[in-house]
Amino acid sequence: MIGKLKGRVDSLDEEGLIVDVGGVGYLVSASARTLRALPGIGEAVSLHIETQVREDAIRLFGFLTQGERDWFRLLQGVQGVGAKVALGILGALPGDALASAIARQDKAMMARAPGVGPKLAARLVLELKDKAGALGGADFGAPEAPAATLPKAAEDAVLALTGLGYGRPQAAAAVAKAFRALGAEAATATLIRAGLKELAQ
C-alpha cells in the first residue's frame, strides 16, 4: 500500500494531479482545497496518500497534511459518504469549520459541501459528534506545522474551556476564531471570554 509520495507535479486538473516519482506518473485524486494549495507544474510536492483497492481499480487520494487524510477516513465511516463526497466536504470546509459544524450540530454548514443534502448533513453531524475530538480543527491548506502551533495564551484558553466541560475540538475552534479576531497580543482571559461567547452562539 502507498502511504506517501514525494516527487514533482507533472499535471493538474480539477479532480487531481499526476505526481512524477522517478519517471513514474501516479494519478492522485485530491480535494479542491488541496489542489489550490499545490505548487506549480514541475515543482516538488510531498503528499500523504490513502490507497483504496477495489475489484476493478486501485485509487490514490492525496493530502498535504495527515490531518486532512484522517478526516477523509473518518468521513467515509458515515453511511452514504464515499470518496467523492468526502473530498467535496474537505474542499468546501476548512478544518476549523468542519470541527465547529460537528461540535455545534450545524447541519446547514455541513450541507454547503457538494453532494451533501439535508439528510446526509444531519447524519454526518450526529455520527461524527463523538468521533471527531481527536482530529480537531486541522488546517488542510498547508503542510503540517510543528506540534506547538497555538501560542501559550491560546492553548491555556483551550485548556480552561475544556476544564469547563467543553470538548477539545469545540474549544479549540472557538479559541482559534477568537485569536484570529483579537490578534496575537490577546491575553488568556480575553480569549476565554471570547471563546465562551463564541460557544454560546
Confidence (pLDDT) at 150: 62
Which of 92, 113, 128 is at the close of a domain? 128
Confidence (pLDDT) at 144: 39
Provide the CA 119 distance to its chain's centre, in angstroms: 22
Confidence (pLDDT) at 149: 52
114, 95: one domain? yes
Confidence (pLDDT) at 199: 79
Confidence (pLDDT) at 115: 87
Would you say residue 138 lies in a domain?
A: no
Segments in the chain below pLDDT 50: 137-148
Which of 63, 87, 112 is at the close of a domain? 63
Confidence (pLDDT) at 147: 35
Reduce the DSSP state of residue 61 to 3 states and report it. Answer: strand
**Cα–Cα dist 7/23, whole Å:** 9
92, 51: one domain? no
Confidence (pLDDT) at 137: 47
Would you say residue 142 lies in a domain?
A: no
Structural domain containing residue 175: 152-200
Tally the domains of the chain. 3
pLDDT tens, residue by residue, 47-102: 999 999 988 889 999 998 888 888 899 899 898 899 999 999 998 887 777 887 88
Would you say residue 79 lies in a domain?
A: yes
**Cα–Cα dist 41/17, whole Å:** 10
